Amino acid sequence: MTESTPLIRAGHLAKAFPSVDEDVVVFADLNFEIHEGEMVALVGESGSGKTTLLHLLAALDTPTRGELYFAGKPLTALDANGRAAYRNSSVGFVWQLHHLLPEFTARENVMLPQLVAGAEFPKARRRAQELLEEVGLGKISGRRAGELSGGEQQRVALARALANGPRLLLADEPTGNLDHRTAALVMELLARLHRSYGLTSVMATHNTELAGRADRKLRLAGGTLQEAAVSSLE
């Protein structure tokens, strides 16, 4: 972890959604920094805005007010094409529901983001196979995603998130639909890949074990974001 310019910086970040009576304010004035190489756990009750914040970090949505910077450049200044390019080149996302294409093989699912980014087919295929071997699925890379177990599908999703060599890994409840044993395997993979790829990782989670692996723990509650003790279980 470095103490140089933060990879992510938010200033007076606000997000509200329109409603019939009045706007629903998720948060109104978030200010935080995340440095390169950090693993950060984003915690808070359901409905506190964790997923909304991850969507802003991924440029899947835009803030109502405020600024959000990635590597010193304002994400809020990007147009739709610029946001798509940022997501494709700099961000990997792991969802609670894996969102794989079930009729495609594991390898094809990991190839897809590379092909969208313009990679040649043989190179994308080799990269996909290497990543699937790294998550322990090399021998079943040719099986359709819909035939895999929940834990295997989540590992394919993790390999897919790393396919284009992102600097930032975002994970939204990555162990939320897994049993304890499978969740432990995915947690170990997340921590190992975070280190080996030199990622900056932000994970929204209710899993106290996963949060305990983080360098820092940020709690989103009542529209505010506060530092919390990593060891805290509340």
Residue 85 maps to which CATH number?
3.40.50.300
Residue 72 resides in a domain: yes
On whether residue 192 sits in a domain, the answer given is: yes
In a domain, 3, yes or no: no
In this structure, the chain runs to a length of 234
Into how many domains does the chain fold? 1
- In contact, 203 and 58? CB cutoff 8 Å: no
> Tell me, what's the pLDDT at 4?
61
Q: Decide if 53 is inside a domain.
A: yes
Provide the residue type at 30 as one letter.
L
- pLDDT at residue number 2: 43
Specify the pTM.
Answer: 0.91
For the chain, 234 residues long, the average pLDDT of each consecutive 10-residue run is 75 92 90 96 92 96 95 93 94 88 97 95 98 96 96 94 96 89 91 95 92 93 83 46
User: Residue 132: inside a domain, yes or no?
Assistant: yes
CA 212/CA 157 separation, integer angstroms = 22
- Is 234 inside any structural domain? no
pLDDT (0 to 100) of residue 177 = 84
Q: Residue 231's pLDDT is what?
A: 53
pLDDT for 123 equals: 97
pLDDT above 90 as % of the chain:
79
Tell me whether strands 168-172 and 224-228 are parallel, antiparallel or unpaired. Answer: unpaired
Flag whether 71 is in a domain.
yes
Q: Is residue 212 in some structural domain?
A: yes
Full residue range of the structural domain in which residue 57 is found = 8-228
Cα gap 151→140, rounded to integer Å: 13
Residue with the two structure tokens 């974001």: 225
